[in-house]
Amino acid sequence: MANEATEKVHVLIIGSGPAGYTAAIYAARANMKPLLYQGIQPGGQLTITTEVENYPGYPDGIQGPEMMIHFEKQAVRMGADVRYGLATKVDFSQQPYKVWIDEAKLIEADSVIICTGASAKWLGIPSEERLNGFGVSACAVCDGFFFRGKEVAIVGAGDTAAEEALYLSKLCTTVHMFIRKDKMRASKVMQDRVVNTPNIKVYWNTDTDEILGEKKVEAVRIKNSLTQETQEIPISGFFVAIGHQPNSDIFKDWLTMDETGYIQTIPGTSKTNIEGVFAAGDVQDKTYRQAVTAAGSGCMAALDAERYLSAKGLA
């Protein structure tokens, strides 16, 4: 039942990375008066990224947080209502859809665009957090360029880790790859490529003990889990490729997801299994995970929402 804390909107956007802000820009320009809640990390993963050099339109590169401020300002200038707040519960059983913000305020929306992103999984060691952005990264495609001609390390054993190791091998002199067990989870073809790449050195049964360096990554200390022997390797960059976790938990009772929690959309669209609910960005994309692809899918979601609302006579 509606109460004074309830608000009704045409389009509710949940999340504020490149996908969310782009959806807001397009929805606002289409006069859909979108309301965007920024979530637990306003600006998304780019706010913990330093230099961004691969987004079109920034010939000299830009700092990730600054770029997200630009996105937000553009969305606000177009007329989007951007607010702090975290979606904590949803009810997609009937329209208008219900979304609770910070467990208190209820938003009723004719359509919902989910842009909650995904969070990189980390090893959980203090030096990893301290040096994040100063040589520690969870995205080789984003940051590998800064380590051209240098030695780097990567930890992970799946297809993503293998792909990122191969990517780094084309830029860096040596890639030290740490595998916790005596085998990789990656597909056979990816394993073969890694093993047959001369400048990738694979370390089996190896745990990362500590990343060394005061203000930037200078070395890594590893430990062999069988012999307990430790070893220090001088490196300039340390890449974590142990997977991402989509921020989709509050939607799991309503939306179709894959086994790891990525929201599934109808191919070529942003449409989920519930009409009027759309998903964009890294919460539904485990393949590309780039700012530019997230922004593109945010555009798709806003256009899909506009067509949906028009067909329903709601916009």
As beta bridge partners, residue 245 has: 119
Q: Classify the C-alpha dihedral 272-277-278-284 as positive or negative.
A: negative
142 is catalytic: yes
Among 110, 115, 142, 172, which one carries the catalytic annotation? 142
The label of the residue with tokens 């919902």 reads 112
Q: Please report, in angstroms and rounded to a whole number, the separation of the first and last CA atoms in the chain.
A: 24
Contact 244, 284 (CB under 8 A): no
Closest alpha carbon to 3 in 87, 107, 96: 107
Residue 254, classified by CB atoms within 10 Å of its CB into exposed (0-12), middle (13-18) or buried (19+), is: middle
Is residue 105 within a helix (H) or strand (E), and if so which, with residue range?
A: strand 105-114
Among 81, 110, 115, 143, which one carries the catalytic annotation? 143
Dist. CA 74–CA 65, nearest whole Å: 14
Dist. CA 121–CA 133, nearest whole Å: 15
Closest alpha carbon to 37 in 247, 276, 243: 247
Question: Residue 96: is the preceding peptide bond cis (ω within 30°)?
Answer: yes
As beta bridge partners, residue 137 has: 239
143 is catalytic: yes
The residues carrying an active-site annotation are 139, 142-143
